Amino acid sequence: MSELNENPFVLLDGSQWSHSELLERMQDDDFYYGYLGKASLSSSSVKLLNQSPKAYQSYLNKGSEESSALTNGKLVHMLILEPHKVQDTFEIVDVKSKATKTFKEAEASNPSKAVVTADEFRNAQNMMNALMGCKQVEDIITNCTYEPAGFGYVAGIPFRAKADMIHANGSIYDIKTTSDIESFRYSAKKY
């Protein structure tokens, strides 16, 4: 382990970072998803590379497009693990449809935020409340470190990672949502 702390990590852009400096900076989402998103690989970027180098290059140039399901999953995740970030990350609009002028104006005036309807926000809160009300989950949630970051080499290539939760007993937990509960057990195994 001392070797990790003494030798600098060399990223894909050639920059060098100490392990402690990287771990500290990785707590900032802009650094983790922005700079490190291009200067290192992750499981998500490897999936894109496996799809095609063009898909990975497109992600580097344009970022990823988020579907409604992905945005709602991110909201549930944040309500559970990082509720203090919700207000800065999401704009909640009290409309019945995303096709409304009000919703589209909210998207245009909040380019750095994900815009969701009030109904989507309430649904996400209901999911969070159901999870938090489960006795088995209570022990997990209260005895975990949230969003711990890690960094290392895989086959000599710099990789970054974040776990949703690491329990005091060493277990790793990942929060997943689904739009198809009937297929969830299959997608849970897959992902």
* pLDDT at position 14 over 80: yes
Question: 27-53 pLDDT, tens per residue?
Answer: 998 899 999 999 999 998 999 999 999
Cα–Cα distance, 73 to 178 (Å, whole number): 8
Instruction: State the pLDDT at residue 13.
Output: 96
3 pLDDT higher than 70 = no
User: What's the pLDDT tens digit per position in 49-85?
Assistant: 999 999 889 888 887 777 888 889 899 999 999 999 9
In percent, the amount of the chain with pLDDT more than 90 equals 62
Q: What is the mean pLDDT of residues 4-13?
A: 82
Query: pLDDT digits over 117-139, tens only?
Result: 999 999 999 999 998 888 888 88
pLDDT band at 115 (very low <50, low <70, confident <90, very high): very high
Please determine, for residue 98, whether its predicted confidence score (pLDDT) is greater than 90: yes
pTM of the model: 0.77
Share of the chain above pLDDT 70, in %: 96
- What is the pLDDT at residue 191? 66
- Phi, psi of 172, rounded to the nearest 5 degrees: -110, 135
The pLDDT of residue 92 is 96
Which of the pair, 3 or 188, is modelled with greater confidence?
188
Q: How high does pLDDT run on average in the chain?
A: 89
C-alpha distances (whole Å) from 111 to each of 27, 163, 171 are 23, 27, 37
